[in-house]
């Protein structure tokens, strides 16, 4: 097997999500359903994310991952990935999970952006690498995110424009004595219309092997606030080294404090 995104399922080491570049004051629990499709690939999965704020605005811990996945691939894709599942179809429970610590380095003001640091551990919680769906190997990445409001107004339809960008370094173990190292880059622009938010961005990482480890994705997302909670829909277009497109819908519960 080739332990890179182009030769595994779409939930194996995806491009990191980029949030609003700020640590809030309330905890969040998120559930989402994901529909992936691409040449020879059909996948449905259920994912979750928990963010627990220890110090409002300054420190939070997060965990996220795939609870279950059903997939069906063509025989050509099965053979290309060297999958050991003869039927090229399977239902999997529990994929790779991630644990993260996010902390504020600098608070946003009129001239300075919000700067956050993050340390992320990729666990080897999945035990089904033989189907070429999850790496089932450990890894980690470090990143810095910068966020700044470009426009803010209480009047009119458009309330806020926010730019968020992130850069970091990813390292994960492959199925041999080597590890893959890659810089990460993600950026987005978010428009806030009150109860409705719309954001668009792109991101990826650039591995050193050059064998399917340089994925690039485009994302567009709509958020609908309903009281303290939020519903969202996101479309992701897979580009280089990432054949799958994704339609995601989910709900974010906000609680505590």
Q: What is the pLDDT of residues 172-204, one digit of tens each?
A: 998 767 899 999 999 999 999 989 999 999 999
The pLDDT assigned to 43 comes to 96
How many domains are there within the chain?
1
Give the length of the chain. Answer: 257
Asked whether the predicted pLDDT for residue 129 surpasses 80, the reply is: no
**CA-to-CA dists, residue 217 to 6, 37, 185, angstroms:** 13, 14, 11
Burial of 163 from C-beta contacts in 10 A (0-12 / 13-18 / 19+): middle
pLDDT in tens, 221-248: 999 998 889 999 999 999 889 888 999 9
What average pLDDT does range 91-114 have in this prediction? 93
pLDDT in tens, 8-41: 999 999 999 999 999 999 999 999 999 999 999 9
- Sequence-ordered alpha helix ranges (H) in the chain: 75-80
Q: What is the CATH number of the domain that holds 22?
A: 2.40.160.40
pLDDT in tens, 38-78: 999 999 999 999 999 999 999 999 999 999 999 999 999 99
Range of the domain at 196: 5-255
Asked whether the predicted pLDDT for residue 128 surpasses 70, the reply is: no
Q: How far apart are CA 200 and CA 198, in angstroms?
A: 7
Specify the 3-state DSSP secondary structure of 210.
Answer: coil
152 contacts 191 by C-beta, under 8 angstroms: no
Model-wide pTM > 0.85: yes
Q: How far apart are CA 45 and CA 208, in angstroms?
A: 29
């Amino acid at each position: 097997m080739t332990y890179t995104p182009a030769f595994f399922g779409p939930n194996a080491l995806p491009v990191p999500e980029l949030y609003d570049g700020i640590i809030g004051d309330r905890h969040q629990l998120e559930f989402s359903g994901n529909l992936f499709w691409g040449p020879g690939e059909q996948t449905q999965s259920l994912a979750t994310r928990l963010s627990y704020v220890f110090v409002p605005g300054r420190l939070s811990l997060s965990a996220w991952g795939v609870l279950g996945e059903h997939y069906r691939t063509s025989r050509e894709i099965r053979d290309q990935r060297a999958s050991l599942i003869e039927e090229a179809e399977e239902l999997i429970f529990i994929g790779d999970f991630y644990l993260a610590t996010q902390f504020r380095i600098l608070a946003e003001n009129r001239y300075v952006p919000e700067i956050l640091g993050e340390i992320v551990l990729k666990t080897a919680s999945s035990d089904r690498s033989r189907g070429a769906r999850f790496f089932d190997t450990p890894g980690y990445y470090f990143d810095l995110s910068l966020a700044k409001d470009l426009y803010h107004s209480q009047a009119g339809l458009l309330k806020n424009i926010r730019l968020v960008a992130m850069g970091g370094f990813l390292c994960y173990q492959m199925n041999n004595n080597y590890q893959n190292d890659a810089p990460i880059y993600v950026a987005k622009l978010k428009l806030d219309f009150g109860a409705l938010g719309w954001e668009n961005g792109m991101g990826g990482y650039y591995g050193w092997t050059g064998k399917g480890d340089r994925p690039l994705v485009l994302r567009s997302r709509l958020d609908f606030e309903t009281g303290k909670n939020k519903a969202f829909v996101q479309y992701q277009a897979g580009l280089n080294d990432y054949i799958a497109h994704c339609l995601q819908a989910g709900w974010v519960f906000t609680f505590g404090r």
